[in-house]
Amino acid sequence: MSDFEHSPVMRDEIVEALAPTPPGVVLDATLGGGGHSEAILEARGDVRVLGLDRDQDALDFAARRLAPYGDRVMTHRCRFDQLREAIDANDLDGLSAALFDLGVSSPQLDRPERGFSYRNDGPLDMRMDADAPWSADDVVNGYGEADLARIIQRYGDERFARRIAAAIVAARPIESTTGLAEVITSAIPAPARRTGGHPAKRTFQAIRIEVNGELDALPEALDQAIEALVPGGRLAVLSYHSGEDRIAKERIRAAETGGCECPPELPCVCGAVKTVRVVRGVPKRPSKFEQDHNRRAKSARLRVAEKLDPTVEVER
């Protein structure tokens, strides 16, 4: 079995959410192992997939996995905020759907040499693009204590961020993922270690997000995807962190309102143009069965929006 075999989170829910979209090209902005794309291609004989990923290993595996679908599959190596370039490079006019499955993939977590896992010993890497010059080692052993505390709190929602940052600085140089996990664990009070999963989980997440600039790239990527959708096309965003979900909510809301700031009880006079409607107001959660059997699904949230037809007037 390949390192990239894994179960895509909310597979059936994604297929259902994208079922009403028109024929055309579905963008999988985070291709990973290709599980979501495979499910979409199997369910819809009238669509093709354009899969993006920064990880060449993921692209190589996905290409093999999706080979039975022939020319219905296109892949492109880039960060997802470069999706407009990928669309142009493949001479596409628009998208019938766009899927973002955010965060790190299970295969990356399961390969110790990639440095994402706090459970398996590996180098302090965490780069989604193995050719990128910046790694977790630069953050862990190079950032000042205040900056470390800031990213751990901001990207990890970690209440002991300051204690963890101080412990990391005091323990330098830290040379491995398990070494880092031990330092983090020792900095957290014993009663807090017994709840909420592995004590290092939030800090590792924060460092990974910082290394890969994930939240910095997301707003632009979502805006580009919404712009590229054809009328009736849908955007689906799977997030696993409050920061990711907040950005998805904000960008969808901006498109839903067109940026209108007029009082809601009065007619709009600012000329704002709505471009999407929200398909589901409250994010959808995975089933209890999936949460119990796929640890990556526990924190997942799915938001879906549909592109409006600009020729049809929409009531405010």
Tell me: the pLDDT tens digits for 115-164? Answer: 998 989 999 999 999 889 999 999 999 999 999 999 999 999 999 999 99
Task: Please compute the mean of the pLDDT values over residues 240-247 and round it to a whole number.
Answer: 92
Q: What is the mean pLDDT of residues 173-198?
A: 93
Q: What is the mean pLDDT of the chain?
A: 92
**For residues 193-219, average pLDDT:** 92
Phi, psi (deg, nearest 5) at residue 302? -115, 120
Q: Which two tokens stand for residue 296?
A: 């990556």
Average pLDDT over residues 216-233: 97
Asked if residue 79 lies in contact with residue 54, where contact means CB atoms within 8 angstroms, the answer is: yes
